Amino acid sequence: MKLIILDRDGVINQDSDQFIKRPDEWKPIPGSLEAIARLNQAGYRVVVATNQSGVGRGLFDMAMLNDIHAKMHKSVVNAGGRIDAVFYCPHSAEEKCACRKPLPGMYLEIAERYDTALQEVYVVGDSLRDLQAAAAVAALPILVLTGKGEKTEKAGGLPAGTQVFADLATVVDRLLIL
Ligand SMILES: [Mg+2]
Ligand SMILES: [Zn+2]
């Protein structure tokens, strides 16, 4: 199965240190929605895995997170694409869950849901923890330089084999000719 896992903030939409707390704060990165549509056209199922500790911290509730994701889904549909599913970790770091990246809990859930191994699956993120979670399940880590990506690259220590691209649109340009 052609499956690709995307982080949300800093990959699909602009990141914010103040958290994305409402739908109007969710703003797509130029080219990202079209990139998702191109992945779909190439036969990829696109799945999102996102840490949303703002829920655990009480900054917004699950209903609001659903509203934000409804906007994301609609925006992708309007660009001609489809996000198959959104997996999220609502916990704060203190809750010590198994799903908050860099732990690979969400990726393992995705593997189970789609009944597929992750060895050939690309994981796109802008933070080290996205890539560490990918490495933990032997998936293929890709760093984008949008969101926190430039800082992440400068800080170094990326998992072996991490590929680095400017943004999601560039990832798709490259993937689709590989
Ligand atoms: Mg991110
Ligand atoms: Zn969690």
Helix, coil or strand: residue 154: helix
The pLDDT of residue 76 is 98
Cα distance between residue 23 and residue 70, in whole Å:
8
Does 178 have pLDDT greater than 80?
no
Whether residue 173 is annotated as binding a ligand: the answer is no
Q: Which residues contact 54 (CB under 8 A, 6 or more apart)?
A: 19, 20, 21, 60
23 C-alpha to ligand 1 centroid (Å): 17
Q: What is the CATH number of domain 2-175?
A: 3.40.50.1000
What's the mean per-residue pLDDT of the chain? 97
The per-residue pLDDT for range 3-44, each reduced to its tens digit, is: 999 999 999 999 999 999 999 999 999 999 999 999 999 999
- Strand order, beta sheet including 163-165: 85-89, 45-51, 3-6, 122-125, 140-144, 163-165
- Catalytic: which of 9, 15, 130, 167? 9
Whether residue 69 is annotated as binding a ligand: the answer is no
Q: Which residues contact 178 (CB under 8 A, 6 or more apart)?
A: none
The pLDDT of residue 156 is 97
User: Global pTM?
Assistant: 0.97
Does 176 have pLDDT greater than 90?
no
The per-residue pLDDT for range 111-156, each reduced to its tens digit, is: 999 999 999 899 999 999 999 999 999 999 999 999 999 999 999 9
Judge whether 167 counts as a catalytic residue: no
4 C-alpha to ligand 2 centroid (Å): 21
Whether residue 115 is annotated as binding a ligand: the answer is no
**Ranges assigned E (strand) in 53-168:** 85-89, 122-125, 140-144, 163-165
Cα distance between residue 167 and residue 75, in whole Å:
18
Angle (nearest 5°) at CA 29 between 27 and 34: 110
